[in-house]
Chains A and B, each alone.
Chain A
Amino acid sequence: MHTPQDIFQQQQLIRHDNLLWLLIAQGVVILPLLFQLPLWLWLIWGGALYWRYQIFKGKRPFPNSISKFLISALAIVGLFLNYQGAYGVEAMVGFLVFTFIIKLLELRSRKDGLLIICIGFIAVAAQFLFVQSIWATLYAAFSCVVLITAWKTIYVTRELPVKQKLTGGGLLLLQAIPLMLVMFVVMPRLGPLWHTPLLNQQAQTGFSETLSPGDIGSLVQSTGTAFRVTFLDETTPRQSELYWRGLILDTFDGRTWARQSHLQFAGAPVPNGASQSTVNYEILIEPHRYPWLFSLAEPIKSDTGSVRSRITSEGLLITREPLTTRLQYQVSSIRPRETVYKALSKQQRQQLTALPIGFNPKTVALAESWRQASDSAEEIINKALAFYHQDFHYTLSPPLLGENSVDDFLFSSKQGFCEHFASSFTVLMRAADIPARVVVGYQGGRYDASENYWSIRQADAHAWTEVWLAGIGWLRVDPTSAVAPQRVEQGIDNALQADDRNRVAAGQFSAPQWLTNLRHRFDAANYLWSRWVLSYDAQQQSQLLKQLFGGKEPWRIGLIFLLFLGSLMGAYIVFVIRPKWQARTPLQQALKTFDNTCQQWQVQRENSETIAQFCLRLRGVQPQLDTACERLARLSQAALYDQQQDNQKQLVSALKQFPKE
């Protein structure tokens, strides 16, 4: 009586094709994770697969609890050693993947299969903690198709070709996506609920907290986007005005610039009230694991959403925690000229003119000579810029500098990249007793006309100087522009010689045009992806909901869901029920009407009754219908079975017009 299928059903065992699908799904899901995790997990996976295959072949039993315990203990120790006990996301994901793999060895019932599927979904989520690009998402979608297929296979007992199974899984996913999108858009967003462990493996990108000669030169050789900017006003600043300030370095040890040990969290500069022409822009920054954000001088207002941040007295935007997630923030800046700066205190002035004693004597001497020959600070600055303009050379591969790096640069090599110019210029100013500091950030960027945004790449990294002029305040001076004005006006790819250019952004700038175009398109897509999907938050949500539905009150959201369900129902009626109705012949429709009419007369036509037979019966019950019944009986026989003349239409109308109660 019991087929093997029944037995499998009753004991809820995993069937073989089912097992295969689960293995495939697991492989697909953990593959991207394995690249992020210790290599020995590959071995464990391979071993588990082999063992499970042996079990399937019947050559080996399922592991007993002791061996399971031993394997688990070993793996936990392994993970502990690997991460040195660091309590972080990687370790947790590592443990997840490990359990996932080991679960294979106890995979025998349908319940285990479901557990595998569930862990699979968690693994897909874990993958998103590491990468969130479009590609990763597409891969995750593929993983979901495979997972759903494997999931469905648990409940399908008939044999199906692989393609059909995958199509089934994909279809299920496709059908689920609309509702998912609606939920994604309208479900309320909350801020982070608790402090979450961070990914510790991920490298910091961009510049570091210090600046030595060659630092930026090597940074511009790396690929990648630092952040993307959309200007919210109609007029956007010129490219040469786009100095994205990130970090201010104000102490010099003769070679390396660094910042003071503590950042001053003080009040922001105050606008002078003369003009209020602010620049408003929105920045979407990639996580670089430093606490600074980028802005144009001088930021007066910022909105960083759920991330806590403030504007320092130096006009910098700083977050509380290092930036570990992609962040979208809005800044309003005013032009430095329109700002009132508090005068420097004596201590500050001392600090901003300090130089290490005994280094770079020639430079100090030169600055001293300028100071004595000049009346004002502006004159000294002009002299210095003119000095640079003479015979300096802007290159990505300057010769190495000695102990007195500024002296070597200014008087012998005369070749350098922006950090050389900024560093030497600042030293010159300080030597001339003008407070000055080095600013590190990005300059310029690539404008994407199609999506109207600026893409600022690592290749756009830059360093420049800010000097303090009494009565005016901080003034930005970029000595690089004195040497290579194209750098500022047209971007780095136009300012360098051909062999240097090949090194910028790992040679991306000298790639063929079509590749560059493609890369730009992809960058635009990534931008849209990041901006609308990855950084969709409570704020964007309320904006969008306001735009679309005029608010985000619960009743509106409920209404949206109802509308969504209603449209589904409507589609069901239009595409499923109506065709069925329309497939019926006029006669069938008329009969249905007639049967409904007769229900009013409390007589129901039996399945096996012809119209004539029924009319006879009806006449017996309701004598007043005598004539109508007789006519209908005659007509039905003539129209349906005699068919001497075509009077089906008459029958249809007679059925429809049968007297009602």
Chain B
Amino acid sequence: MQPLLSELVTAVSHVLLGKDQQVKLAIACLIGRGHLLIEDLPGMGKTTLAHCLGKVLGLDYQRVQFTSDLLPADILGAAVFDKQQSTFNFHPGPIFTQLLLADEINRSTPKTQSALLEAMEEGQVSIEGETRQLPTPFFVIATQNPTSQSGTFMLPESQLDRFLMRLSLGYPDQQSERLLLQGIDPRSRINEMQPVLTHQQLQSLQQQVTLVRCSDPLLDYLQKLVTFTREDGRFTYGLSPRGALAWLSAAKAWALLADRDYVIPEDIQAVAPAVLGHRVRGDEVEQGHEHNNLIDYLLASVAVI
């Protein structure tokens, strides 16, 4: 498996320079059958990453720009009256694709957001009483502006939970930026990219993720971590069982990326920021503690063995 996956990573990293970790996490997220939320400032390469992933995975790709007046029908599609045949024809919305890039998802109203998120969860949409199956595989890569920008609707916790991971790309380092500046426009590179995986290969990869083994000491560790989030006073609320499951499957995908068929604590730790970042919330304490980052605090507090 390793060659295929490393080829995948290399291909994407070739376009998105200096972001190996994020690329790997994104791929782990997708082969772990999860949706991805990217939170960053504009122009950091969110779209590039999404586009790139769509290309190399050989998936159909659609992009929706979310705005405050976007309606559910704008995403899901609507029945349009056909004058010639005097019937309603269904015009599928952009959601009917294999990879959907939902740009600036927190700019739209909660109503629209939830329409999308429900579709993400169920893998199908109901329009005017008719249930329509979404294509498989179905991935959503949503981007979100950092919080506290005006005119945004924060995604509620219950909906954030639908995303397996939340990433933030951040600025490239000096070297990567220089390469970026010297090189060709990434967009043109994307157009040149060839799919690395076939549908069958993708599915078999996804299947393999579920087969990755977890030993008892590892599950002990995971449970200790989860319990800690529920008991420790710095956490406003603990991790839900669904969150714990998500964490495990992300760790499994990560293990597979490392060409292992069993999970080790390092996997758990590696995916923790991406998986937990949007799932746990701490007391809004500004300072007075050495671990200002809640996740660091969690990992540092719980003994591995």
Contacts and interface: CB of A to CB of B under 8 A. Distances in A.
A binds B: yes
A612 interface: yes
Most buried by B among A608, A611, A642: A608
Contacts of B299: 608
B141 to A, nearest CB: 30
Most buried by A among B217, B218, B299: B217
Interface string B160-185: 00000000000000000000000000
A642 B300 CA distance: 24
B64 to A, nearest CB: 40
Contacts of A643: 213, 215-216, 262
B302 A640 contact: no
Given A641-B217, A642-B215, A610 B264 contact: yes
Given A640-B217, A642-B262, A610 B305 contact: yes
Interface string A353-383: 0000000000000000000000000000000
B266 A606 contact: no
Contacts of B38: none
Contact of B300 (A591, A607, A641): A607
Interface in B186-222: 213, 215-218
A142 B216 CA distance: 54
Interface in A582-617: 587-588, 591, 606-613
A567 interface: no
B305 A611 contact: yes
Given A641-B217, A641-B218, A642-B215, A607 B301 contact: yes
A637 B302 CA distance: 19
A109 to B, nearest CB: 34
Contacts of A613: 266
B263 A609 contact: no
Interface string B265-305: 11001000000000000000000000000000001111111
A641 B217 CA distance: 7
A611 B303 CA distance: 11
Given A610-B305, A643-B215, A637 B269 contact: no
Contacts of A641: 215, 217-218, 262-265
Contacts of B300: 606-608
Contacts of A610: 264-266, 304-305
Given A640-B217, A641-B217, A641-B218, A607 B302 contact: yes
Interface string A637-656: 10011110000000000000
Given A606-B300, A607-B300, A607-B301, A612 B266 contact: yes
B266 A640 contact: no
A612 B258 CA distance: 15
A591 B266 CA distance: 18
A637 B301 contact: no
A587 B304 CA distance: 13
Given A640-B215, A642-B215, A612 B264 contact: yes
A452 B31 CA distance: 93
Contacts of B216: 643
Contacts of B301: 607
Given A641-B264, A642-B262, A643-B262, A608 B304 contact: yes
Contacts of A606: 300
Given A641-B262, A641-B264, A642-B215, A591 B269 contact: no
Contacts of A609: 304
A588 B303 CA distance: 12
B290 to A, nearest CB: 13
A639 to B, nearest CB: 9
The main secondary structure of chain A at its interface with chain B is helix
Nearest to B220: A640
Nearest to B269: A608
Nearest to A587: B305
Interface in B209-258: 213, 215-218
Contacts of B303: 607-608
B305 A591 contact: yes
A591 B304 CA distance: 12
Most buried by A among B263, B265, B300, B303: B265
A591 B217 CA distance: 14
B229 to A, nearest CB: 15
A613 B304 CA distance: 11
A641 B269 CA distance: 15
B273 to A, nearest CB: 13
A433 B269 CA distance: 120
Contacts of A611: 305
Contacts of B302: 607-608
Contacts of A608: 269, 299-300, 302-304
Nearest to A643: B215
A643 B304 CA distance: 17
Most buried by B among A612, A637, A641, A643: A641
A587 B215 CA distance: 15
B27 to A, nearest CB: 22
B38 to A, nearest CB: 27
A111 B263 CA distance: 62
A611 B217 CA distance: 13
A612 to B, nearest CB: 7
A612 B264 CA distance: 10
B14 to A, nearest CB: 29
Nearest to A613: B266
A613 B264 CA distance: 11
Contacts of A640: 215, 217-218, 305
B298 to A, nearest CB: 9
Most buried by B among A588, A606, A642: A642
Nearest to B300: A608
Contacts of A591: 305
B211 to A, nearest CB: 14
Most buried by A among B218, B300, B305: B305
A609 B221 CA distance: 12
Nearest to A648: B217
B127 to A, nearest CB: 47
Most buried by B among A587, A607, A611: A607
A642 B264 CA distance: 8
Interface string A606-636: 1111111100000000000000000000000
Nearest to A644: B262
A641 B265 CA distance: 8
A199 to B, nearest CB: 63
B267 to A, nearest CB: 9
Interface string A562-595: 0000000000000000000000000110010000
A320 B217 CA distance: 84
Contacts of B262: 641-643
B251 to A, nearest CB: 11
Contacts of A637: 264
A249 to B, nearest CB: 88
Nearest to A640: B217
A111 to B, nearest CB: 35
Contacts of B217: 640-641
A227 B299 CA distance: 79
A633 B213 CA distance: 19
Contacts of A587: 305
A615 to B, nearest CB: 12
B302 to A, nearest CB: 7
A587 B216 CA distance: 14
B276 to A, nearest CB: 14
B304 A607 contact: yes
Given A640-B215, A642-B262, 7 more contacts: A591-B305, A608-B302, A612-B264, A640-B305, A641-B262, A641-B263, A643-B216
18 contacts: A587-B305, A591-B305, A606-B300, A607-B301, A608-B300, A608-B304, A610-B264, A610-B266, A610-B305, A613-B266, A637-B264, A640-B215, A640-B217, A640-B218, A640-B305, A641-B215, A641-B264, A643-B213
The 9 closest A-B pairs by CB, nearest first: A643-B215, A640-B217, A641-B264, A641-B215, A608-B299, A610-B265, A610-B304, A607-B303, A642-B262
